[in-house]
Amino acid sequence: MMQTDLDWSHDQYVRITVSGTINKTDLVGLMAEILQHPDYTKKHTFWDLRHVTMGLSIADLREIIGVLKLYRPQTRDFADRAALLVPGKMNQAMAQVFVTMTRMLPIRYQVFSDWETAQQFLIN
């Protein structure tokens, strides 16, 4: 079961902490909630995935990217960076596949293994 916590208190990003097994249905619901938030276009996203098990297939990733395409911001100026804090080589490899698949989206996703580097990517 996937558990989530959203923290909108940072000035430049929303921190999304996820734990448990990531599944497509819960992830799409979480993404819809974030993408519909009034501060979404003003804040980058910081995905803390240090306590997850990836339960997604390549087909799931394609569907998730399809959802992201539907929520394309209507403005040219928006927070366009997303840091994925992911532990372990296997989870990082799966996250990197996702990043590669999102190259055509207006959001720049990047995989990180440590908190400080991920945070610097978002605030600089």
Residue 24: give its domain's CATH number: 3.40.50.10600
Q: Residue 122 — pLDDT band, cuts 50, 70, 90?
A: very high
State the CB neighbour count (10 A cutoff) for residue 119: 19
Contact partners, residue 110, CB within 8 Å, separation at least 6 = 81, 82, 83, 84, 99, 118, 121
pLDDT > 90? residue 16: yes
pLDDT of 15 higher than 70:
yes
Contact predicate 104/68, CB 8 Å: no
42 Cβ partners below 8 Å, 6+ apart?
A: 78, 79
Number of independent structural domains in the chain: 1
Where residue 62 falls among pLDDT bands split at 50, 70, 90?
Answer: very high
98-107 pLDDT tens trace: 999 999 888 9
Res. 45 pLDDT band, cuts 50 70 90: very high
CB 83 within 8 A of CB 46: yes
- 55 or 115: whose pLDDT is higher? 115
Sequential DSSP letters for 12-52: SEEEEEEEEEE-HHHHHHHHHHHHTSTTGGGSEEEEEEEEE
Whether the CB-CB separation of 49 and 99 falls below 8 Å is answered with no
Mean of the per-residue pLDDT values for the chain? Answer: 92
Range of the domain at 38: 3-123
Q: What is the pTM of this model?
A: 0.91
